Amino acid sequence: MSAQAQDLDGDGVPELVVCSQLPDGVESEVLRYLNRNLTVIETFPNMILSCVADPKNPKVMNLLGQRTDVGDMFSGEMISFSLRDGALKRQGNVMLPRGTLLLSYAAGDLQGHPHVRVLIDQRLKLRVFDQDNHLLSVQDGHEYGPHRKITVKTADGVKEIMWPGRIIISDSSPSGQGELMLAKTAGGKSEIQGFHWGGAFLEKKWNTPPMEGAILDFKIGDFKNNGARSLVLLLARPDQLLGMSGPRSILFAYDFLP
């Protein structure tokens, strides 16, 4: 479901944080690349691990874990981890906004408002909070997705929950002004939309050209290793070839112009 490369111990070599769907729940692993092999540092059953930006300092990434097998997995209480001496150590608990699913959460500085936390909850509401978890705005999030269901093991047994899709806070230009990016699907077409803070709510700033199909995931990074940032998205759409059936997947890439 999710894979992130992040240097967790400051040695200059990123670790790999993976969250997977299993038949009876979710499982997360932290792996290290050593001698051309991936070695598992630790496995976490019934936990979603994710590297998220510290809302007070977005340049600092924190490794947080969300347990599914507790009384209320959406309480906002997360476990903070650090990697020291080759082992993961529990640092304590961190409170995020109630309703948070780490797979559909982002934190950082938005143009117009620093230090925000953004999530899409199980009722598909797009919510924006300040760094102290005070609610700033709520709007309908049904068009942002795709909305998939995942199986988790809870304190009451195995059940399905909603995974509303990826949320990213990043900058699309050298200005350093952060933008919220979401994948919108409506009328059989999809696009990535960028938002800034308009004073009382989110305002759309730009969007990619609408494309037929559903955007399953997207990411921003220096994929060409040339210092330029690109937006890469995975699009699934019906196959138009005669005699063929079923969807096909296409990768698209957009370069952010200076």
Which of 185-193's residues contact partners 24+ apart within 8 Å by CB, and which partners?
185/143, 185/144, 185/145, 185/146, 185/214, 185/215, 186/143, 188/212, 188/213, 189/213, 190/214, 190/215, 190/235, 191/215, 192/218, 192/231, 192/233
* β-strand partners of 160: 151
What is the DSSP-derived secondary structure letter of residue 96?
P
What is the pLDDT, as a whole number, of residue 247? 66
What are 41's two structure tokens? 């540092």
Under DSSP, is residue 223 helix (H, G, I), strand (E, B) or coil? Answer: coil
Question: CA-based Rg of the chain, rounded to a whole angstrom?
Answer: 18
Residue ranges covered by each domain of the chain: 2-255
Class of domain 2-255: mainly beta
How do the pLDDT tens digits run along the chain, 258 residues long?
Answer: 898 999 998 888 899 999 999 998 999 999 998 888 889 999 999 999 999 988 777 778 899 999 999 989 999 999 999 998 888 999 999 999 999 999 999 998 898 898 899 999 999 999 999 999 999 999 998 888 788 899 999 888 899 999 998 999 987 665 567 899 999 988 888 999 999 999 899 999 999 999 988 888 898 877 777 777 788 888 888 766 555 556 678 888 888 765
CB 42 within 8 A of CB 88: yes
Burial of residue 240 (CB within 10 Å: 0-12, 13-18, 19+) is exposed
Q: Is-cis flag, bond preceding 146, omega within 30?
A: yes
3-class secondary structure per residue, 194-221: EEEECCCCEEEEEECCCEECEEEEEEEE
What pTM value is reported for the model?
Answer: 0.88
Asked if residue 29 lies in contact with residue 22, where contact means CB atoms within 8 angstroms, the answer is: no
